[in-house]
Chains A and B, each alone.
Chain A
Amino acid sequence: DIQMTQSPSSVSASVGDRVTITCRASQTIDNFLNWYQQKPGKAPKFLIFSASSLQSGVPSRFSGSGSGTDFTLTIASLQPEDSAIYYCQQSYSTPLTFGGGTKVEIK
């Protein structure tokens, strides 16, 4: 199985700050990397696919980059509604696997 490792496990930042989350795969996955946002008590929301493509309707302050084994999710200017847990997921091969999540909190 491909292991996905996210860091940090949590981050606290102020409104307007730039926030970066990293995700590392245990083997190369090309650009088969998705990002999800999950708020308490809700289903995950699909944010980014193919490492860097923004899902329709997702604010442009979210962006993704990377290929191979190292990926990043960046929130360019953190907003209060961005408080959530973010997960990466490899879509390269089954079993599909998720990172452990990064909790983003607002200071």
Chain B
Amino acid sequence: QVQLVQSGAEVKKPGASVKVSCKTSGYSFTGYYLHWVRQAPGQGLEWMGWINPKSGGTRYAPKFQGRVSMTRDTPINTAFLDVSGLRPDDTAVYYCARAVEERYYDAVYWGQGTLVTVSS
């Protein structure tokens, strides 16, 4: 079955960077877009961008352009989200989510989430 397993919680200081991983299994990694979505405590969902694991192509939300990087390592079926210049308002649960064929913008399968806390 499709599984997305994310790395563990992180605590970072303002200005630092964080790298969150999303290890996938149960399907062809290069076949489906992966999205990153975050959720601040008690708040709604915020889309950050997607990566095409086959080509490595990416599309970021304008809000995050220049501060996030989405990459992948195809031999290990894993995608990564790098966020730099962390601020306290980046404190959130970060999710990876997989799309389906022909519906690239539908986040159908989700990871369990990774809590990133930014605090001095």
Contacts and interface: CB of A to CB of B under 8 A. Distances in A.
Contacts of A32: 105
Contact of B107 (A46, A92, A95): A46
Interface string A78-93: 0000000001010110
A44 to B, nearest CB: 6
A98 B106 contact: no
Contact of B61 (A87, A91, A92, A95): A95
B113 interface: yes
B44 interface: yes
B47 interface: yes
Contacts of A87: 44-45
B108 A55 contact: yes
Chain A contact residues: helix, strand, loop or mixed: loop
B107 A44 contact: yes
A91 B45 contact: no
B104 to A, nearest CB: 8
A43 B62 contact: no
A91 B97 CA distance: 14
Interface string B21-40: 00000000000000101000
B24 to A, nearest CB: 14
A38 to B, nearest CB: 8
B21 to A, nearest CB: 16
Interface in B99-120: 103, 105-113
B80 interface: no
Which of A32, A43, A50, A87 has the most chain B CB within a 10 Å cutoff? A43
6 contacts: A1-B62, A44-B107, A55-B108, A94-B47, A98-B47, A101-B45
